[in-house]
Chains A and B, each alone.
Chain A
């Protein structure tokens, strides 16, 4: 179970002994420069590829990438040649994911930068965006790496500002946005739950029973049915529970069986480059 107990994967020991070795001093700088050089070379080669080869390259990469997880899964746990690579690959992907944040920041800064630059309508809001963004970044790093408070529980200036920005503002904005659902669920129920058709009525009926079965006020309605009699099933809380655990869970299982197969089919098509559509058929 422990990751240290997993046997090294195929060639993993070789890599960690001979290739991916921590280096220091000039060797480190040399390795970095070497990697940059190789990367530059690869980039040059890549940009020289003719369109047909580009497509073939993509198909191959997608296939190999998918093959990795497929083989890892179908090969038995004992002596699995790939399991050892799961953790390094996970780290690799997460680090890559972090570097993609820049794409989002560029997008946000272009849109809001334009608004502030042109003083277009609502530019004040865009300025507020920048102020909030820089404030939490600056105070975040400052309180993390700057002077620490003398007494536990006390705040430095940066710590206090971060507290105001994060606990005061962010931690209020987020749950309040979430809590708007209480209003929207009410107005949606009022507007949509009308006895118009068989389907709408069934949905309304089930929602009605479950809602009543959840609060004391609703339970009183049927509390005259003795809980140990044969009719106890019709007590609202029991009936509500039965709909949820009997019908509802079976229906959701049916949906799940459908979606997992749909997902499997879409994955197979993507993996084998059989998928048709805008992103795959576009000329390169």
Chain B
């Protein structure tokens, strides 16, 4: 395969154009490559599952090192396939409910890992030596935002009380500012992706860029 690189560049260009064509409207060209994409993803997923996972962690120890007990996960996984039998379909559910149980048990650790550091780093001094007025203002804004946003997420406390209603309203406004800011800050990252693609088309494929 002498020309693998060259052919790869050309097929890459065709694939890029096919996906971009959906911007005009959904068409045969896109549809064809959409299916190719799904086929490649499924095949590559299978290949990678074997190469990076099953071969080293399952087949090699099982068949070459005599670790016979590794047959167990494979047998348990067969329960998934009971879904194709009307009579035994409920057994797949035994497995899935157990997996949900495992996921639920991880919630404590997840809570601690996600929220733990965020709680203690929310304590920002509102006064004191060495704080500039700007820092004080920042810390105050931080505190107010946090309190108002949390209030917005109260569901069961009646909102006819001004104590809940007003902060909740401000909380929603502050959320909108945060969402707008996130939107704005993502624009650059998204365009980086497309610029990268255009550099491929104009540079690597057509050799128009210096």
B166 interface residue (CB < 8 Å to A): no
Residues in B with CB closer than 8 Å to A252 are 178
Return A31 CB to nearest CB of chain B, in Å. 4
The answer on a CB contact under 8 Å between A173 and B36 is yes
Check: B150 CB closer than 8 A to any chain A CB: yes
Are A248 and B181 CB-contacts (below 8 A) given A253-B146, A260-B115? yes
What is the size, in residues, of chain B's interface with A at 8 Å between Cβ atoms? 122
A residues 107-123 with Cβ under 8 Å of B?
108, 112, 122
Q: Mark B111-129, 1 if CB is under 8 A from A, else 0.
A: 1101100100010000000
What number of A-B contacts does a CB cutoff of 8 Å give? 394
- The smallest beta-carbon distance between A26 and chain B, in angstroms, is 11
In the complex, the answer to whether A260 meets B111 with C-beta atoms within 8 Å is yes
Evaluate contact between B57 and A203: CB separation under 8 angstroms.
no
Inter-subunit contact A100/B75 (CB<8 Å): no
Tell me whether A172 is interfacial, beta carbon within 8 Å: yes
Cβ-based interface call for A183 (8 A):
yes
Contact yes or no, A169 B180, CB < 8 A? no
Contact A179 B15 (CB under 8 A): no
B104 touches A271 (CB 8 A): yes
Contacts of B99 in A (CB 8 A): 65
Chain B 83-108 interface residues, beta-carbon cutoff 8 Å to A: 83-84, 87-88, 90-91, 93-94, 97-108
Q: B residues 128-175 with Cβ under 8 Å of A?
A: 134, 138, 141-143, 145-146, 148-150, 152-153, 171-175
Proximity bits, A170-189, B CB within 8 Å = 1, else 0: 11111111111111010001
B20 touches A180 (CB 8 A): yes
Docked Cα-Cα span, A185 to B180, in Å, equals 12
Residues of A near B44 (CB, < 8 A) are 136, 140, 166, 170
| Residue from B80, B111, B173, B182 with most neighbouring chain A CB atoms (10 Å) | B182
Q: Given A32-B71, A66-B101, do A177 and B19 touch, yes or no (CB 8 Å)? A: yes
Specify the chain A residue showing the minimal Cβ separation from B47: A140
Known: A46-B94, A66-B104, A202-B173. A247 touches B1 (CB 8 A): no
Measured between alpha carbons, how far is A91 from B69 in the docked complex, in Å? 12
A24 CA / B10 CA spacing, docked (Å): 51
B188 within 8 Å of A (CB atoms): yes
B42 and chain A: residue at smallest CB distance:
A133
Q: Which residues of the partner chain B approach A190 to less than 8 Å between Cβ atoms?
A: none
Could you give, for residues 45-79 of chain A, a 1 whenever the CB lies within 8 Å of some chain B CB and a 0 otherwise?
01100000010011001111111111001100000
Contacts A96-B73, A266-B104 supplied; 7 other A-B pairs, CB < 8 Å: A54-B90, A62-B101, A100-B77, A199-B173, A211-B184, A249-B142, A254-B153
**Interchain residue pairs with CB less than 8 A apart (12):** A58-B94, A133-B39, A144-B51, A155-B4, A163-B8, A169-B36, A179-B194, A181-B194, A244-B185, A254-B153, A255-B149, A257-B115
A interface list, Cβ under 8 A from B: 19-20, 22-24, 28, 31-32, 35-36, 39, 43, 46-47, 54, 57-58, 61-70, 73-74, 91-96, 98-106, 108, 112, 122, 124-126, 128-137, 140-141, 144, 155-157, 159-161, 163-183, 185, 189, 198-200, 202-211, 214-215, 233, 240, 242-244, 246-258, 260, 263-264, 266-268, 270-271, 279, 284
